[in-house]
């Protein structure tokens, strides 16, 4: 669910003209002439399709958090093994880099730590949400966040309203559609009827009879399913390690019960 906060922070930077998700080379470290990572865009990072190497094509979360180096540096200083946008790899490092790009664009470390709270979380009443940082001040926003069911209910309501809260535009117009549109590269399980991936959100369209539906997805069963046509947000908190909870069916049952 933390990743969905990350893409929201990027959205705020887009709203303010600080970043362009389709512009290449979002990070200073990739701007040396001849660096192939210069082809990567923020859009690639948000869709987890950067093309950067991860061990065994898997999520390098433990390596990120346990290597001794700050995770932001572990993420940035790696090599390319495929064209940006061609391959889906669920890598939290892409999320960390996307948020770091916002930090570089803001270029004001004195206010960086308060930026997510003052510009986003507190504005919509997510006052019980905490984001951890590494020891260089970059947010560990691929997974180290702590929140509540009420807070993620508010989060979902913001996306239902296409980024407007109490009359104030928090996210750019159309950002809800952007995050909930299937990325070009998808996990293999999607082609067997599993959930798809957008931009830091999982997509449940058509599963268990659901209409368009998308969700943050946190470790061990944390969901905030957004169903625009039903004007509904279904928040579920769990502690599942077997991956067996069917959130699509649960959300469809709630939706049908309310009709």
The single-letter DSSP state of residue 183 is P
What pLDDT does residue 242 have?
Answer: 77
- DSSP-derived letter for residue 120 is I
Domain boundaries, the chain: 2-131
What is the distance between the alpha carbons of residues 215 and 220, in angstroms, rounded to a whole number?
A: 14
What pLDDT is stored for residue 80 in this prediction?
A: 85
CATH number 3.40.710.10 is the correct assignment for the domain at 2-131: yes
Q: Can you give the pLDDT of all 259 residues of the chain as single tens digits?
A: 999 999 999 999 999 999 999 999 899 999 999 999 999 999 999 999 999 877 654 455 566 667 677 877 777 877 788 899 999 988 888 999 999 999 999 999 988 999 999 999 999 999 999 999 888 888 888 888 999 999 999 999 999 999 999 999 999 999 999 999 999 999 999 999 999 999 999 999 999 999 999 999 988 889 999 999 999 999 999 888 877 799 999 999 999 999 8
Question: What pLDDT, on the 0 to 100 scale, is given for residue 259?
Answer: 86
Number of neighbours of residue 100 by Cβ within 10 angstroms: 25
DSSP 3-state assignment of 76? helix
Contact 56, 75 (CB under 8 A): no
Instruction: Tokens for 193, please give them.
Output: 């009827």
Residues 147/127, Cβ–Cβ less than 8 Å:
no
């Amino acid at each position: 669910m933390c990743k969905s906060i990350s893409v929201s922070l990027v959205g705020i930077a887009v709203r303010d003209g600080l970043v362009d998700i389709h512009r290449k080379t979002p990070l200073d470290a990739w701007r040396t002439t001849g660096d192939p990572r210069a082809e990567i865009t923020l859009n690639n990072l948000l869709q987890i399709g950067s093309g950067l190497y991860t061990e065994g094509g898997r999520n390098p979360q433990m390596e990120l958090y346990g290597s001794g180096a700050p995770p932001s540096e572990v993420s940035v200083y790696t090599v390319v093994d495929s064209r940006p946008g061609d391959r889906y790899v669920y890598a939290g490092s892409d999320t960390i880099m996307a948020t770091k790009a916002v930090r570089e664009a803001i270029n004001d470390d004195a206010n960086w730590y308060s930026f997510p709270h003052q510009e986003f979380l507190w504005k919509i009443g997510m006052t019980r949400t905490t984001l951890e940082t590494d020891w260089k001040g970059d947010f560990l926003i691929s997974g180290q966040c702590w929140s509540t069911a009420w807070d993620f209910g508010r989060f979902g309501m913001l996306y239902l309203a296409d980024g407007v809260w109490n009359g104030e535009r928090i996210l750019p117009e159309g950002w809800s559609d952007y995050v909930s549109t299937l990325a070009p590269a998808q996990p293999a399980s999607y082609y067997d009827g599993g959930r798809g991936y957008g931009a830091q959100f999982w997509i449940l369209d058509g599963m268990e009879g659901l209409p368009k539906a998308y969700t943050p997805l946190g470790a061990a069963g944390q969901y905030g399913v957004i169903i625009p046509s039903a004007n509904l947000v279904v928040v579920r908190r769990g502690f599942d390690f077997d991956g067996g909870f069917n959130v699509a069916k649960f959300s469809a049952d709630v939706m049908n019960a309310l009709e």
